Structure 1
Amino acid sequence: MAGRSVAALVGKIALAMVSVLVLGATGLAWGTFRELQGLGTSQAISGESSPPGSTQNILVLGLTTRKGMNGEDLPKEVLDNLHAGDSSVGGYNTNTMIVLHVPGDGSKAQAVSVPRDDYVTFVDGPLLGSTKGKLKEAYGKAKEQEQERIYAQGERDPATLEQKAREAGRVSVRKNVEALLNIHIDHLAEISLAGFYDLATQLDGIDVCLKHATSDTNAGANFKQGRQHLNGAQALAFVRQRDNLPNNDLDRTHRQQAFLASITTKLKEQGVFGNLGKLQGMIDVATKDVVIDKGWDLLSFAQQAQNLTGGNIEFHTLPIKGYAKDPNDPSSDINLIDIPYVQALVQTLFNPAPAAAPTAPTTTTPAPPPIKGGGSTVDVRNGIGEDGLAAKLANALSGYGFTKGEATSVAPQASSQIFYGTGAKEDALKLAQFFGGIKATASTSAAPGHVALWIGKGFTTPTALAGATAAAPTTTVPVPTEGPQGGAVDGGGIPCVD
């Protein structure tokens, strides 16, 4: 997307999420737990947390900052390895925000990625005079505002200024995430750039799988197609890359999830969580680079973390409606969101309805299908930015006589169109009429027997197309499936991504 910050860092999800697992796993041994008392702690969680062992909502934050815990500059050699610019770059945006929902009954956990550019009204605003802005900005604005306040009161110690100001940033982003998702956050974990590099290096890199060769000089990325092993610096480039990806930041979120799947698989296969000797290096990283809330009982969280390391997690990215220009910065884009829809989706994920009891079969004649295809392969190109729409439409149409083809995201489209290859004209015209009379055109670029549905501005999914999409609901919504968990897998639990 035009105007998005080239230096933005989102890769910390891996370290932050894995750090959560490490904290719980290492809590199994009291001696190791005592070592973890060196972790930085935060007072950002207010109110009463859920009792130990019960359902937990954990907010995982990744910062863009190139500075240490006390505001000190990172070593130049570290910055050089990261292709991340100097210590003045990056600010204090939370370019990674993940809510990890861990059920107390041991059932599958849900990890929800909150897009960083979601445009919100700050519930604790105004922040530096702004009442609205990108969600990622809440931390940095609140930090700067608090730092100015306590400096005016006479505080001059740089470390104290940094620590107290960061606390204000954590509180702000916690409050705004709670308000956006209509949930309570029980615990918080924060990590910054240095921590990611330290852990990625400690683990001797990761394995990833790419659908296509790609590069991004700004992030230091240059990757071939297929499965490959990345060292620490390459791993950071993998999750930082935004340029030359079909859907920019949303695709980068999918990369975060793919990275996490890779790293947790590696930890499990190497037996790290069962070997305190192997854990020592990771503990050293955690105590140096991770901040957690002061009330987090790591010993009680240990059993839940063991369950998570078994791969019992599902990943989701919250949907957006589209893009617009930032009113405060016309050169930058914002995500437009349907807040009631997002809140309903989170409730569906975190509090799923119990399975309905089986009912006696009925003799009612089923309704005729809304459309009947002749077998043509339908390729769906999503050009409106709604996360998961291409996959949902492709899946739905495959139930009505069409063959499921590719489901991909593309650059924004001004209008919807259909292109068809040899032998697919009849099916293309059926789809054109079904989708509201959009234009259908023969194209030599379309393969024989293929219909390409390009979704553009103003597109509305017919309500008759069961299972494709739904209007904003009051209680439950269909869960998005597009992303690494629904993509090709190259073996070993490593999903292939763009």
Structure 2
Amino acid sequence: MADNTRHRPRTAADRRGRRAPWQLALRVAAWGTSGALLLGCGATWYVYRSLTDGLTTSDALDAVRGKAPRHLDNSVNLLLIGLDSRKDMNGNDLPRQFVQTELHAGSSDIGYYNTNTLILMHIPADGGKVQAFSIPRDDYVQTLNGDGSVQGHYKIKEAYANAYTTAHDKYAAQGVKGADLEAKSREAGREATLATVQQFTGVPIDHFAEVNLLGFYDIAKVLQPITVCLKHPVRDRYSGANFPAGVQQLNARQALAFVRQRHGLDEGDLDRTRRQQAFISTVTHQLKSEGVWGSPSKLQGLFDVVKKDVVLDSSWNVLDFAQQAPNLTGGNVVFHTLPIEGFGMRNREDVNLVDPDKVKSIVQQAFGPAASPVPSASTTAVSSATVDVSNGNGRRGLASEALSALVKLGYTAGTTGNVAPRSVTTVRYGTGAGPAAQQIAGRLHAGTATAGSAVPAGHVAVTLGADYTPPGGQAPSPTATAAPSQSASASAADSGPAVQAGGVPCVN
């Protein structure tokens, strides 16, 4: 039988089954490239997930977005929040022995939810020098809630605690309990801090990170020993600081004492602020020199602590930041401390008196131009109310003068009178006049307005004290106020020398 197969015409299947050598090579290359890309993407995804899975994040920035001028470029403003709390993430007290021996921080009842560290950093879009401003914790400012409503005038560190307390009471009354109650209350505190700092500085906040005392200790434990430099020897029983002068290496317990000490320092809290700036400079320098930023395995230990103790905003890509972080070393960061105008007694507490307009000008000049100005308190629309003013200041004619100034701002004139001398200016309000009263209290730097049963509906009753400040005017000079306390013992209107990052700065 004849073999006819060699003469069979080639079918389409035959043609598809045979490829020219260059076609096969191209296909193999494509398969190889695709496989490499898939493996690479998979590895990147795995590294990202292993490092970031379990991070505690917050949506608090959603409450304040769009309430400050937007950037004109791709620069980033980052707020670092140090919470003076002796509690864990679920609101449980840290073990007493640990708080006393390792943190040297007294009782778990101390500190509450005050933000004792606030550092606002500006990272330029072009990779230029980073400008950072520490905000002294005792600055007496108008504090806000996350929705923009006014809390009153308090130390800036108290914005978080005030909002936390209000939210905690509200949610507890609704039956919320345990970790969920703590989380909701802290979120309110974060929103209030962001809103207050954003208004005070007049610039938008793009990202934030929050850490408490335990978190700082745990981070220091991962990074120890930490190199610091002191100009003078120090010994302080409150913080546990006991160090000689010069360059030295600290363990985690000592590092916490280093950044917490304020007693025994020439400039009290302001020197402590510079200690915190020096610590950040040292740590970023150390991380770069040890190659941590570029090593996923080295980052893992740091991220494990971050997952446990640090809260980051939900829009922050931490791996992107880790790639940018080396740019924050090598002298590329300059730390400043916002200036104060003097010292005073408000709400029966020693405070730093500040000029909000000056602060905005300093920060905005350093951070660069914004899209539009932030409305100041003097341009905010007034709420309707009739104002009655009583003079307890002692200066003749001051009640009429104060009422006239308030009328010019848009409030309705009521009555004036005199009362016995008093030291503190107070603002009370009748039914329906709460918003106006809070505005007026803010304009007069008079703390928080309170409801008064004897005040007629629609009226605000202002009683001027020795600390009276004209509406929209500057706070009284230091000579007219109480002597500064240990926590505010720096010269007025002097933020002190800048701390230049890029190594181990020597500080008091």
TM-score (norm 1): 0.64
Q: Note the C-alpha offset of 1:29.
A: 5.0
Cα distance in 1, alignment partners of residues 203 and 149 from structure 2: 26
In structure 1, the residue matched to 2:350 is 333
Cα distance in 2, alignment partners of residues 125 and 34 from structure 1: 31
Q: Is 1:110 aligned with 2:127? A: no
**RMSD (Å) for aligned C-alpha atoms:** 2.9
Which amino acid in structure 2 is aligned with residue 336 of structure 1?
A: L
Q: Note the C-alpha offset of 1:247.
A: 0.5
Alignment of 1:286-305 (within 5 A): 286-305=306-325
Q: Note the C-alpha offset of 1:309.
A: 4.1
Q: Note the C-alpha offset of 1:125.
A: 9.5
Cα distance in 1, alignment partners of residues 252 and 319 from structure 2: 30
Cα distance in 2, alignment partners of residues 93 and 319 from structure 1: 21
Which amino acid in structure 1 is aligned with residue 500 of structure 2?
A: Q
In structure 2, the residue matched to 1:66 is 86
Q: Is 1:213 aligned with 2:233? A: yes
> CA contact under 8 A between 2:145 and 2:191: conserved in structure 1?
no
> CA contact under 8 A between 1:134 and 1:334: conserved in structure 2?
yes
Alignment of 1:42-57 (within 5 A): 42-46=58-62, 47=65, 54-57=74-77
Q: Note the C-alpha offset of 1:304.
A: 2.9
Summarize the Cα distance change of 1:130–1:178 in structure 2 as closer, same or farther, 3 Å threshold: closer
Q: Please list the CA deviations of residues 365-405 of structure 1 after superposition, one character each: whole Å capped at 9, or x if unmatched.
A: xxxxxxxxxxxxxxxxxxxxxxxxxxxxxxxxxxxxxxxxx
Q: Is 1:139 aligned with 2:160? A: yes
> CA contact under 8 A between 1:125 and 1:131: conserved in structure 2?
no
Q: Is 1:171 aligned with 2:191? A: yes
Which amino acid in structure 2 is aligned with residue 237 of structure 1?
A: A
> CA contact under 8 A between 2:293 and 2:322: conserved in structure 1?
no
Which amino acid in structure 2 is aligned with residue 232 of structure 1?
A: A
> CA contact under 8 A between 1:209 and 1:495: conserved in structure 2?
yes
Aligned length: 340
Cα distance in 2, alignment partners of residues 164 and 457 from structure 1: 40
2:202 to 175, 179, 182: 182
Q: Please list the CA deviations of residues 194-221 of structure 1 after superposition, one character each: whole Å capped at 9, or x if unmatched.
A: 1111011111231111111111101001
Q: Note the C-alpha offset of 1:31.
A: 3.0
> Secondary structure of the residue that 1:38 maps to in structure 2?
coil
Q: Is 1:316 aligned with 2:336? A: yes
Cα distance in 2, alignment partners of residues 299 and 263 from structure 1: 18
> Secondary structure of the residue that 2:266 maps to in structure 1?
coil
Cα distance in 2, alignment partners of residues 307 and 129 from structure 1: 38
1:269 to 289, 298, 303: 289
Which amino acid in structure 2 is aligned with residue 111 of structure 1?
A: A
Alignment of 1:97-496 (within 5 A): 97-124=118-145, 131-155=152-176, 157-326=177-346, 328-329=347-348, 332-351=349-368, 482-485=497-500, 493-496=503-506
> CA contact under 8 A between 1:113 and 1:253: conserved in structure 2?
yes
In structure 2, the residue matched to 1:411 is none
Which amino acid in structure 1 is aligned with residue 503 of structure 2?
A: G
> Secondary structure of the residue that 2:53 maps to in structure 1?
helix
In structure 1, the residue matched to 2:413 is none
Q: Note the C-alpha offset of 1:103.
A: 1.2
In structure 2, the residue matched to 1:386 is none
> CA contact under 8 A between 1:128 and 1:142: conserved in structure 2?
no
Alignment of 1:65-104 (within 5 A): 65-79=85-99, 80-104=101-125
> CA contact under 8 A between 1:265 and 1:311: conserved in structure 2?
no
Cα distance in 2, alignment partners of residues 277 and 115 from structure 1: 37
Cα distance in 2, alignment partners of residues 496 and 298 from structure 1: 30
Cα distance in 1, alignment partners of residues 496 and 345 from structure 2: 28
Question: Percent identity between the aligned chains?
Answer: 49
Cα distance in 1, alignment partners of residues 274 and 328 from structure 2: 19
Summarize the Cα distance change of 1:200–1:29 in structure 2 as closer, same or farther, 3 Å threshold: farther
Which amino acid in structure 1 is aligned with residue 507 of structure 2?
A: V
Which amino acid in structure 1 is aligned with residue 140 of structure 2?
A: Y
Q: Which runs of 5+ in 2 are unaligned?
A: 1-42, 371-476, 480-492
Summarize the Cα distance change of 1:333–1:148 in structure 2 as closer, same or farther, 3 Å threshold: same
Cα distance in 1, alignment partners of residues 317 and 83 from structure 2: 24
> CA contact under 8 A between 1:127 and 1:138: conserved in structure 2?
no
Which amino acid in structure 1 is aligned with residue 58 of structure 2?
A: S
> CA contact under 8 A between 2:120 and 2:134: conserved in structure 1?
yes
Summarize the Cα distance change of 1:217–1:128 in structure 2 as closer, same or farther, 3 Å threshold: farther
> CA contact under 8 A between 1:188 and 1:293: conserved in structure 2?
yes
Q: Note the C-alpha offset of 1:187.
A: 1.1
The structure whose Rg is larger is 2
Summarize the Cα distance change of 1:219–1:299 in structure 2 as closer, same or farther, 3 Å threshold: closer
Cα distance in 1, alignment partners of residues 223 and 146 from structure 2: 41
Which amino acid in structure 1 is aligned with residue 367 of structure 2?
A: F
1:41 to 57, 60, 63: 57
Cα distance in 2, alignment partners of residues 185 and 270 from structure 1: 30
1:32 to 47, 55, 72: 47
Q: Note the C-alpha offset of 1:128.
A: 12
Q: Note the C-alpha offset of 1:274.
A: 2.2
Which amino acid in structure 1 is aligned with residue 203 of structure 2?
A: I
> CA contact under 8 A between 1:39 and 1:287: conserved in structure 2?
yes
> CA contact under 8 A between 1:127 and 1:145: conserved in structure 2?
no
> Secondary structure of the residue that 2:60 maps to in structure 1?
coil
Of stretches 135-144 and 297-306 in structure 1, the one that deviates more from structure 2 is: 297-306
> Secondary structure of the residue that 2:144 maps to in structure 1?
coil
Which amino acid in structure 1 is aligned with residue 154 of structure 2?
A: G
Q: Please list the CA deviations of residues 29-76 of structure 1 after superposition, one character each: whole Å capped at 9, or x if unmatched.
A: 54332131311111110236989x921111110101111111122234
Which amino acid in structure 1 is aligned with residue 334 of structure 2?
A: E
In structure 2, the residue matched to 1:367 is none
Which amino acid in structure 2 is aligned with residue 485 of structure 1?
A: Q
